[in-house]
Structure formats: structure tokens, C-alpha cells
């Protein structure tokens, strides 16, 4: 079967396989695929691939690392899509399946046409492939250096050729509009400016043509220190000679307002947004009013962007530009529609005594006045669609609206184009700071600069204030500014100008907050206590004591006015500085009992839901010692493991943050219980850093108290993650601390588990006799107390110890007991591990057929569960079985997969597996007949 793969590199990186989009999340996999795609059908050498994927920072084993990335890439686009050759790799698709290659082929084809119509059609097809900056989101400096200039230059040459072919076939005004947009996008390309000036002059707009030349001359002088080229200078002289009174406005004497505010001289960033706005205007039909809504939270730079863009397109609206601050979110009364209409009608020349008295009549008069005009209206800081609708003019005009509200009605009814403004990315944040403090100071303290941008939430207004503070004191390091801002309680005080309320973030936020209804305001304040990065409707409902529906409506109200962001349908998040503001409000306005009650509900709800999810991951963690509170909020249930795991993935960062908050508050029981219940998820998803951090917190919290059982749970949790992370000495110390607490209380429900894990530590140290001794003690304790789960865990550890001692028959018996017990417990992960031990034990007994059968069963089970870490164990065992039984090719296959898995998990076993592979005979030397019946993993 032939798989149809399409790869788009002219704009956002996109891949489709058989028409379905494929997401390539890894940055290096995108660089790898892009490199292969640009040489589709041709061999790309290992060196060339490495340079494009890693740049100068090459990994220790380039060929092996590339093999791993190619293997993963094949999972996305098909096994046959990437061919392996001795010197490199080749993407086996037609070159026309890559938009950049098809684009270049079409341009070459167009250049060979004698018929202008045919050339025009081919150029149109080629240009339709262009969707933005080439190699966007492909992080490869080598590719960008090699391909971006070539593709960009070919694109511009094609655009210019197509415009030349369109001359005489398209309206000059239409061509001028396109060229105006192109010169804004490529301001230093003089050939575009030349064409724009010629089109304007040919259309009889010589005054505009002269103004265009003046703008170009100023731009070149400022940016490059040069004059326009000779052709442009000659064109300018001709224009000066031809310009006469006929170029004066037809409606002389009529006012043409020029009310736009001052444009920021050092406007920073927002290039993607500017391109989006330019694209909207270019595509908008001229027979209707173009409406743009720029919305976002306070301080995000809505007005700056609107004013800057309005200046860049004002020449397309020669009849004037109107501006009005609608005062929707300010300390002054909002401007009413009738007052706004009065202001605008006066500005366009209507005498005061001729202005009607009603909103409807004024609105109709404004539409009549602007019906045949090309005018730009900038309505800043609107509070709602009802404030804007009466001000909308007739066709041919542009209305730009900024607001903290989403103005959903204006988008739905009037078809406004909505642009949601977010915080700066890191590059734009750095650029804004550099404008204040200088690039030298930023480069001298890169870590402090990065932290400063994060403390400001990359919010332009906050960054500007922080930069001003740093620039005011030249001897003050950026680190000192960061130290001031780290204290959440003082951050908003530091980011303000006491003499200018327009730059006071707290005041700016307050204007949005004061407009809320009481219930939404209460929800906003309580969310300031939430410790995570984002919150679901159900968690918000639990915290506020409301139903999910009620909470959802309130969250939607907060999102509508940008006091919350809504990155996903069921997830909401604060801007960092708004979280600080909400927490301040809660501390000031909510009684302690309200705040504590909300946090208690949240904690109890999370404990109950995590426990419910844990039933599908590690049900044995729900011991009789874990006493759960009554469910304090919306009940959450899961149909299967996949649902439980998906919930954990969404909530992981919030749960970790919650444990940190619990520790800071001194809530001991909730800290260790939540950390304990999450260990199954941490283990299965390989989130070891989070596991270790939360386990350490639990140990610190329980250490000073006299709850010996809690100390054992915390110690066992920490000891386990240390062992999994190959910190064996640390793990054994933690487990022995737990055993001391167990001994002090004369034994406990955790004694068998602690002994079993100490056995595991000795096993990892290859101290098999001690491991067997502790494992036997664990097994006796578990059986004496009827603890089925620890019988199973002790048995699987005992089987491993016996394998290490060469006692294979005893190892097999313990592994069978473990497997059967885990099956009874419905613990498929550990039952698969037991099968792996059983495979190794039977292999030691010389029964290779049984060993292979047990190993393949265990591997299939691990793969079904998506348990990469456990699968590596079984793959290592299967490789050893194959190697021992003389099937070298099969052993190499298993061990290579195990190696790739361990490297992706940063598992230290990778070195051991590499040694096993190195010990195999070379592939050429291996006898092919020996592996005729080798299994395929």
C-alpha cells in the first residue's frame, strides 16, 4: 500500500499522512524530517543530517542518535517512508509532495513559458503554496541559513513578476493595495517600492506617489544610511515634474481628520500579529467595512499594536483617521455611543447645530458621511459590542477596536476579525527589555534577565516598567531588580509609577475586576489561592463550593474579559501577575474562614479523585491506612486506565504545586498521602523529578512529628524513587529510616514493603545473598499479616535475587507465585515484570522455548500498557534468551529497542545494553541460517 505524505515547509510546519494531520512534537524530529524533505528522493548523509538536527552541539554517538530519531519518525509517517542507506537516509516520497520543492519547480517552469497567460497561471499555482515564513517552527540554523534566503528571494521575484503580468489586467487601486502591503512586509526591497510608486502615479495619485518616495527615503536613511537607487531617484524627478494642481483633493475644504495617537518609535515584536492583520486587510472585500477587534488582558499592548498598525496602513485610507478612547475600562465614565457620534460628526465637518439628537439619527448621518470614503476609525478601550455598533461606518472603511472583553457579539453578528493578544514570547520580551537597559546588560546577566521576564509574566507593560526601573539606576544589576520582584507581595508595588495611574498594573487590573458581578468577583479572588498553572471547571467547582455548571459560567465570564485565559475548552489559567492580584484581593476581602474552607475543599477533592484514578494504576497503594475524606465537590469517575492517565496528565503540574503548597502550610497528612497516591502515576509516566521532589517533601514533613506510620509511608515512597533513579545508596538509607520507624512501633502494615524494597536495593548492588535474605523476611511478614500485595512484590524480588545466585528453579517458583498473585490483584504491569523474571529463570534452566514464550507474553503486555520502562526490562531478558540460544539477529533486535527506550528515558541501563550489543558478533559475521525462526518484537 502506498502512503501519501505531504510536507509543508512554506509557513507553519505541517505533515499529513493519507490526508490526516500528523503532529511531530519533537523539535529535532521536525528538523530531521525537514532536512530529509528538502532532499526528497535523494540520499542525505549522516554528517549533513547531524549538522541540521544538532548544529554544533553534536551528541556523543551521532549515528546511533540519528537511528533513534529516524525510528521514531517512522512511527509518525510510516516504516517505508525513510530508507536506510550505508551513508545516510533518504525520504522515499515524490519531490512534489514537499511544498518548497514543488514551489521551486513551478517557478522554473513558469520562467520557461512564452505565453504570458500560461506563465501567470503557473505563478499563481506556485504562490498559492506560500503560507508564511519558510521553515517556521523548524529549529535548525543550518537549514534556515541554507534555504530561507533562497526561498524568500524566489518568492519575491515571483510576486514581482506576477504583478508585472497583472499590469493592465487588474485595477491600479487593487495593485497599489497589494504593493502597499508588500512594502510593509518587506520594507527594504526597493523594487517593490518602485512598482508601488509607478502604480500610484499611473492611477493619477501623484501626491501619494511622492509621499511614498519620501517614506522610502526616510526609511533607507534611518536603517541603512543610503539613498534610494538610481532608478527610484530618476522616477522621483519625473514625478516632481508631473505633479500639479490636479493632484489636489477633489473635496478641497472638507476636513480630513488625522487623529491617530503618536506611534511608538521603538515598537517591539508582534510580527506574527502584524502579518495576520495585513493579511486580513488584503483579503477583505472592499464593498463592506473591515472590522478588527484586538482583545487581551490589561497591559498586554493592545493599544500600542493598534496604533502602530493603523499608522502602517493609514495611506490606504486617505480620507482621514478618527481616534477615540472609549474609556471602557478606566477610572473615568465610559464614552456613550451618542457622545462618540457627536465627536466623530464634528470631526468630519458636520456643524454642531446640524447634528441630530438621537443615537439612531447620528449613526445614520455618520454612515452617510462616510459611505463613499476610505477612512480609518480606531476605537480604543471599548467595554462591549453595544458601545461600538452605532459607530460602524459604511463600506470601504476600516474600524479597529481594542478591548479587554472578547466582544463575542461583534464577531458573531458583524463578522469582525478577532485578534487575541497574548504575552510576549521570550525573544520579544528580551527585545523590549533591551530597549530600556541595553543588550550589553542583558547579555551580562542572561539567567537574571530570563527570570525577570518570567516574573513579569512577559507582559509588555510590566516589562517596560521593570526595564525603566533598571535603567533608572545604572549601577543596579538586573539580579537586584529580580530580587525585588521575587516577593509576590511586593511585585505589583514595584511595577508601578506612582505619578502615572496609566502605568499602575494594580489599577489597570482593578478596572476589569470592578466591572465583575459579585459571584464572578468571588470566583476570581478564590482562584488566586489555587496553586497550579491551570484549573479545570470541576476543580474550580470543588474549590468554590458550586456546581460544575455554575463554576463554568463564572469562569467563562472571567475569560470573556481576559481576567482568565482559556487555552482549552475545560482548562483556565491566570496570567502570573493577575494571579498575584487575585491573591491580594482574597487576602484583603475574604475572611480567613472562607479562604481556608476553599483550600480545604480543593485538597479533599483532589485526594478523593487521585484515589479513584489510582485504582486503575496501582490499586495496592490504597491501603487501609489511607483514610479519605468525604467527596466535597463534583464526583469524578474513570472508565479505564486510559481515562485515569489522561486526567493525571492534565492535572500533573497542579497536583505537584498543590503538594508544595500543602508542605508550606504544614498540612502533614495531606502532603504524604497525596505524594504516596501519585507514585503509581509518576512511575508509569517516568515523571521522576516530580516523584522525587514530592517524596522528599513528604519525608521532611513527617520527620519532625510522632506519626511513625506516616514516616514509613514517606520513607518507602522516597526510597523507591531513589532506587528507580539508580541512587541506590540514598534509596537504601531512606528505606532503613522507614524500617527504624517500623521497629519503634513493633511492626506495621508497611514492614513487608520496606523489607522487599531493601531487598531490591541489595539486588541492584548485585548483593544477591543479602537481597534473598531481605526478600525472604518480607515474604514471611507479608504472609503472616495476610498482605497479598506484598506477597506478590516480595516474590518477584526474591525471584530476581535467586536468578542472581543461579538458583533458577527457586527463582522460577517465586516468579510464578508473583505472576499469579498479581493477576489476582489485576496488576498487569507487575504481572508482566514477573513474566520477564520467569523468562530469565527458565532460560537459566536451559528451557529456551519456555523462556521465549514467557518473555514475549510479558513484552506484549507491557506494550499494551504503554509501559516503556518495564518493557525495557523484558526486552533485555529476551535479548539474553536469544543470544544464549544462538539467535544473534533476534538478540540484536531486542537489545536495540531496549537501548533506544532507555536512552529516551535517560535510563542508566543504556550503558549496560550497549555493552551487550558490542559483545555480539558483527552483523556480517552472523550466520543467517541461525535466525530463520527469530520472533519479531
3-state secondary structure 677-729: HHHHHHHHHCCHHHHHHHHHHHHHHHHCCCCHHHHHHHHHHHHHHHHHCCCHH
Question: Are 375 and 489 in the same domain?
Answer: no
pLDDT for position 3:
66
Q: Which of 420, 443, 468 is the last residue of a domain?
A: 420
Question: Are 447 and 371 in the same domain?
Answer: no
Domain with 431 in it:
426-495
pLDDT band at 825 (very low <50, low <70, confident <90, very high): confident
Q: Which of 131, 149, 166 is the last residue of a domain?
A: 166
Interval 109-157: pLDDT, tens:
988 888 888 999 999 999 999 988 899 888 888 898 889 889 989 999 9
Average pLDDT of span 883-888: 88
pLDDT band at 497 (very low <50, low <70, confident <90, very high): low
Q: Which of 364, 399, 420 is the last residue of a domain?
A: 420
Question: Are 152 and 210 in the same domain?
Answer: no
Pick from 516, 561, 566: nearest CA to 540: 566
- Say yes or no to pLDDT of 398 above 80: yes
pLDDT for position 112:
85
| Sheet containing 398-403, strands listed edge to edge, beginning at the edge strand earlier in sequence | 321-325, 376-382, 398-403, 290-295, 417-420
Question: Are 119 and 28 in the same domain?
Answer: yes
Question: Are 9 and 153 in the same domain?
Answer: yes
Interval 507-535: pLDDT, tens:
778 878 888 889 999 999 999 999 988 89
CA distance 578 to 297: 9
DSSP strand pairing (14-17 vs 20-22): antiparallel
Q: Number of structural domains, the chain?
A: 4
Q: Check residues 889 and 925 and name the one with the higher pLDDT.
A: 889
CA distance 407 to 741: 61
- Say yes or no to pLDDT of 696 above 60: yes
Q: Check residues 540 and 299 and name the one with the higher pLDDT.
A: 540
Phi, psi torsion values for 404, nearest 5 degrees: -80, -15
Average pLDDT of span 247-274: 71
Question: Are 280 and 152 in the same domain?
Answer: no
Average pLDDT of span 275-284: 88
CA distance 512 to 300: 14
CA distance 776 to 769: 11
pLDDT for position 293:
94
pLDDT for position 872:
86
Please tell me the total number of residues recorded for the chain in this structure. Answer: 937
Pick from 404, 401, 376, 373: nearest CA to 389: 401
Question: Are 152 and 91 in the same domain?
Answer: yes
- 165-174, 631-640, 871-880: which has the minimum mean pLDDT? 165-174
Question: Are 181 and 76 in the same domain?
Answer: no
pLDDT band at 242 (very low <50, low <70, confident <90, very high): low
pLDDT for position 246:
35
Average pLDDT of span 42-63: 87
Is 440 a member of any domain? yes
Is 611 a member of any domain? no
Q: Check residues 722 and 113 and name the one with the higher pLDDT.
A: 722
Is 350 a member of any domain? yes
CB 634 within 8 A of CB 541: yes
> Degrees (nearest 5) of the Cα angle 796, 800, 804?
165
CA distance 469 to 490: 14
Is 820 a member of any domain? no
Question: Are 290 and 275 in the same domain?
Answer: yes
Question: Are 281 and 334 in the same domain?
Answer: yes
CA distance 269 to 277: 14
CB 432 within 8 A of CB 464: yes
- Say yes or no to pLDDT of 578 above 90: no
Average pLDDT of span 864-891: 86
pLDDT band at 927 (very low <50, low <70, confident <90, very high): very low
- Say yes or no to pLDDT of 446 above 90: no
Interval 762-812: pLDDT, tens:
999 999 999 999 999 999 999 988 888 889 999 999 999 999 999 999 999
- How is 37-73 classified by DSSP, letter by letter? HTTTTSEEEHHHHHHHHHTT---SSHHHHHHHHHHHH
Q: Can you give the CATH number for the domain in which 175 is found?
A: 1.25.40.10
Average pLDDT of span 249-270: 71
pLDDT band at 449 (very low <50, low <70, confident <90, very high): confident
pLDDT for position 346:
87
Question: Are 324 and 472 in the same domain?
Answer: no
pLDDT for position 912:
87
pLDDT band at 498 (very low <50, low <70, confident <90, very high): low
> Degrees (nearest 5) of the Cα angle 640, 644, 751?
100
Interval 775-787: pLDDT, tens:
999 999 999 888 8
Is 474 a member of any domain? yes
Task: Compute the mean pLDDT over every residue in the chain, rounded to the nearest whole number.
Answer: 86
CA distance 435 to 468: 10
Is 809 a member of any domain? no
CA distance 149 to 509: 44
Q: What is the pTM of this model?
A: 0.61
Is 334 a member of any domain? yes
CA distance 457 to 785: 54
pLDDT for position 249:
38
- Say yes or no to pLDDT of 676 above 90: yes
pLDDT for position 466:
79
Q: Can you give the CATH number for the domain in which 359 is found?
A: 3.40.50.300
pLDDT for position 489:
64
CA distance 558 to 561: 6
Question: Are 25 and 162 in the same domain?
Answer: yes
Is 462 a member of any domain? yes
Interval 21-39: pLDDT, tens:
888 878 888 999 999 999 9
pLDDT for position 501:
58
Q: What letter does residue 438 receive in the DSSP assignment?
A: -
Average pLDDT of span 699-712: 91
Amino acid at each position: 500500500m502506498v502512503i501519501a505524505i505531504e510536507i509543508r515547509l512554506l509557513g507553519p510546519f505541517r505533515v499529513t499522512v493519507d490526508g490526516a494531520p500528523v503532529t511531530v512534537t519533537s523539535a529535532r524530529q521536525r528538523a530531521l524530517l525537514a532536512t530529509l524533505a528538502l532532499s526528497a528522493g535523494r540520499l542525505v548523509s549522516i554528517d549533513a543530517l547531524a549538522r541540521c538536527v544538532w548544529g554544533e552541539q553534536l551528541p556523543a554517538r551521532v549515528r546511533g542518535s540519528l537511528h533513534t530519531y529516524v525510528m521514531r519518525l517512522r512511527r509518525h509517517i510510516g516504516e517505508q517512508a525513510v530508507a536506510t542507506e550505508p551513508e545516510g537516509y533518504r525520504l522515499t516520497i515524490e519531490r512534489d509532495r514537499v511544498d518548497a520543492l514543488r514551489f521551486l519547480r513551478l517557478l522554473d517552469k513558469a520562467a520557461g513559458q512564452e505565453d504570458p497567460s500560461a506563465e501567470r497561471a503557473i505563478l499563481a499555482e506556485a504562490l498559492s503554496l506560500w503560507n508564511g515564513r519558510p521553515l517556521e517552527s523548524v529549529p535548525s540554523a543550518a537549514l534556515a541559513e541554507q534555504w530561507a534566503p533562497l526561498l524568500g528571494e524566489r518568492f519575491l521575484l515571483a510576486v514581482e513578476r506576477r504583478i508585472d503580468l497583472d499590469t493592465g489586467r487588474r485595477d491600479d487601486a487593487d495593485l497599489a493595495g497589494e504593493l502597499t502591503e508588500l512594502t510593509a512586509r518587506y520594507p527594504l526591497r526597493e523594487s517593490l517600492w518602485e512598482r508601488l510608486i509607478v502604480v500610484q502615479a499611473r492611477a493619477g495619485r501623484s501626491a501619494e506617489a511622492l509621499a511614498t518616495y519620501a517614506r522610502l527615503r526616510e526609511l533607507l536613511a534611518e536603517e541603512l544610511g543610503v539613498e534610494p537607487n538610481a532608478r527610484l531617484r530618476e522616477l522621483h524627478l519625473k514625478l516632481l515634474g508631473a505633479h500639479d494642481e490636479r493632484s489636489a483633493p477633489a473635496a478641497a475644504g472638507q476636513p480630513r481628520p488625522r487623529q491617530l495617537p503618536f506611534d511608538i518609535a521603538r515598537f517591539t515584536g508582534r510580527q506574527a500579529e502584524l502579518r495576520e492583520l495585513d493579511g486580513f486587510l488584503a483579503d477583505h472585500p472592499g464593498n463592506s467595512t473591515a472590522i478588527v477587534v484586538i482583545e487581551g488582558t490589561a497591559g498586554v499592548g493592545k493599544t500600542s499594536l493598534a496604533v502602530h498598525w493603523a499608522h502602517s496602513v493609514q495611506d490606504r485610507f486617505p480620507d482621514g483617521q478618527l481616534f477615540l478612547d472609549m474609556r471602557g475600562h478606566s477610572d473615568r465614565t465610559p464614552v456613550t455611543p451618542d457622545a462618540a457620534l457627536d465627536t466623530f460628526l464634528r470631526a468630519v465637518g458636520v456643524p454642531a447645530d446640524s447634528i441630530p439628537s438621537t443615537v439612531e439619527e447620528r449613526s445614520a448621518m455618520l454612515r452617510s458621511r462616510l459611505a463613499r470614503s476610505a477612512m480609518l476609525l480606531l476605537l480604543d478601550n471599548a467595554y462591549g459590542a453595544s458601545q461600538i455598533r452605532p459607530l460602524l461606518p459604511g463600506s470601504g472603511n476600516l474600524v479597529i477596536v481594542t478591548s479587554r472583553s472578547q466582544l463575542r457579539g461583534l464577531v458573531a453578528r458583524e463578522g469582525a476579525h478577532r485578534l487575541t493578544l497574548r504575552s510576549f514570547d521570550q525573544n520579544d520580551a528580551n527585545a523590549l527589555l533591551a530597549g530600556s537597559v541595553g543588550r550589553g546588560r542583558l547579555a551580562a546577566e542572561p539567567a537574571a534577565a530570563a527570570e525577570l521576564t518570567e516574573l513579569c509574566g512577559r507582559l509588555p507593560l510590566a516589562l517596560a516598567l521593570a526595564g525603566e526601573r533598571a535603567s533608572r539606576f545604572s549601577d543596579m544589576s538586573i539580579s537586584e531588580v529580580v530580587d525585588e520582584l521575587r516577593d509576590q507581595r511586593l511585585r505589583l508595588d514595584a511595577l508601578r509609577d506612582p505619578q502615572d495611574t496609566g502605568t499602575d498594573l494594580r489599577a489597570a487590573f482593578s478596572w476589569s475586576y470592578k466591572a465583575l458581578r459579585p459571584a464572578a468577583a468571588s470566583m476570581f479572588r478564590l482562584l488566586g489561592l489555587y496553586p497550579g498553572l491551570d484549573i479545570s471547571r470541576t476543580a474550580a467547582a470543588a474549590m468554590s463550593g458550586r456546581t460544575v455548571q455554575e463554576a463554568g459560567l463564572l469562569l467563562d465570564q472571567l475569560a470573556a474579559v481576559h481576567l482568565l485565559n482559556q487555552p482549552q475548552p475545560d482548562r483556565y489559567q491566570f496570567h502570573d501577575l493577575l494571579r498575584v492580584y487575585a491573591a491580594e484581593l482574597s487576602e484583603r476581602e475574604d475572611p480567613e474562614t472562607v479562604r481556608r474552607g476553599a483550600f480545604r475543599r480543593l485538597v479533599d477533592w483532589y485526594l478523593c479523585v487521585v484515589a479513584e484514578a489510582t485504582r486503575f494504576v496501582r490499586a495496592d497503594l490504597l491501603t487501609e491506612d489511607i483514610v479519605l475524606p468525604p467527596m466535597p465537590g463534583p464526583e469524578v469517575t474513570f472508565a479505564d486506565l486510559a481515562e485515569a492517565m489522561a486526567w493525571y496528565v492534565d492535572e500533573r503540574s497542579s497536583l505537584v504545586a498543590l503538594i508544595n503548597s500543602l508542605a508550606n502550610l504544614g498540612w502533614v497528612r495531606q502532603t504524604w498521602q497525596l505524594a504516596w497516591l501519585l507514585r503509581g502515576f509518576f512511575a508509569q509516566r517516568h515523571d521522576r523529578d516530580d516523584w522525587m521532589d514530592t517524596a522528599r517533601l513528604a519525608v521532611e514533613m513527617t520527620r519532625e512529628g510522632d506519626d511513625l506510620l506516616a514516616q514509613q509511608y514517606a520513607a518507602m515512597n522516597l526510597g523507591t524513587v531513589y532506587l528507580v533513579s539508580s541512587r541506590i545508596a540514598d534509596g537504601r538509607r531512606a528505606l532503613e529510616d522507614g524500617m527504624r520507624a517500623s521497629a519503634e512501633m513493633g511492626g506495621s502494615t508497611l514492614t513487608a514493603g520496606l523489607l522487599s524494597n531493601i531487598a531490591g536495593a541489595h539486588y541492584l548492588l548485585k548483593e544477591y545473598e543479602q537481597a534473598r535474605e531481605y526478600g525472604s523476611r518480607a515474604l514471611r511478614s507479608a504472609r503472616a499479616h495476610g498482605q497479598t500485595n506484598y506477597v506478590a512484590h516480595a516474590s518477584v524480588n526474591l525471584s530476581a535475587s535467586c536468578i542472581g545466585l543461579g538458583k533458577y528453579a527457586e527463582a522460577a517458583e517465586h516468579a510464578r507465585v508473583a505472576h499469579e498473585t498479581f493477576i489476582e490483584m489485576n496488576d498487569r504491569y507487575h504481572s508482566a515484570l514477573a513474566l520477564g523474571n520467569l523468562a530469565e529463570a527458565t532460560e537459566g534452566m536451559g528451557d529456551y522455548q519456555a523462556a521465549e514464550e514467557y518473555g514475549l507474553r510479558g513484552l506484549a503486555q507491557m506494550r499494551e500498557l504503554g509501559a516503556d520502562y518495564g518493557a525495557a526490562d523484558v526486552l533485555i531478558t529476551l535479548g539474553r534468551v536469544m543470544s544464549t540460544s544462538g539467535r544473534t539477529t533476534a538478540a540484536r533486535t531486542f537489545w536495540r529497542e531496549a537501548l533506544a527506550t532507555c536512552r529516551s528515558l535517560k535510563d542508566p541501563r543504556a550503558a549496560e545494553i550497549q555493552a551487550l550489543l558490542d559483545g555480539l558478533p558483527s552483523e556480517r559475521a552472523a550466520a543467517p541460517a541461525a535466525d530463520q525462526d527469530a520472533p519479531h518484537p
